[in-house]
Amino acid sequence: MRSVGTLTRADLAESINRRVGLSRADSLEMVESILCHVCDALGEGENVKISGFGTFLLRDKSERVGRNPKTGVEVPITPRRVLTFRASQMLKDRICALD
């Protein structure tokens, strides 16, 4: 596996700036707006699907019993909502092509 950098909001805005020609400020505002919409939808309990990229899914996990690995003592794990991501087949194919 190769080591790679991290894609940041600024990187996304720079890419929009170069490809679309929007100003840097407008590009950053567009990135922030998109991320805000995604966060708001997830906060309202909606799943978010981005065609060709993947789906952000909310799952409710019920209460269960866990175990402290150091002591072996059983501990209840409270119910909670978790966010998962399922990559689209198109994204999986592009990632596998990089190997």
Question: What are the tens digits of pLDDT across the range 32-83?
Answer: 999 999 999 999 999 999 999 999 999 999 999 999 999 999 999 999 999 9
For residues 40 and 12, state if they share a domain: yes
Q: Which of 13, 79, 78, 82 is nearest to 42 (CA)?
A: 82
Residue 98: φ, ψ to 5°: -80, -20
Average pLDDT over residues 25-35: 96
Q: What is the DSSP string of 3-21?
A: ------HHHHHHHHHHHH-
13 and 34: one domain?
A: yes
Whether 41 and 51 share a structural domain: no
| Number of domains composing the chain | 2
- How sure is the predictor about 99, in pLDDT bands with cuts at 50, 70 and 90? low
* Domain end call among 46, 66, 83: 46
Task: For residue 1, name the pLDDT band (cuts at 50, 70, 90).
Answer: very low
Expressed as residue numbers, the domain containing 3 is 1-46
Return the pLDDT at 97. Answer: 82
- Residue 1 sits in the same domain as residue 22: yes
Of 37, 40, 14, the closest CA to residue 27 belongs to 14
- Contact of 82 with 59, CB cutoff 8 Å: yes
CB atoms within 10 A of CB 54: 17
Residues 35, 71 share a domain:
no
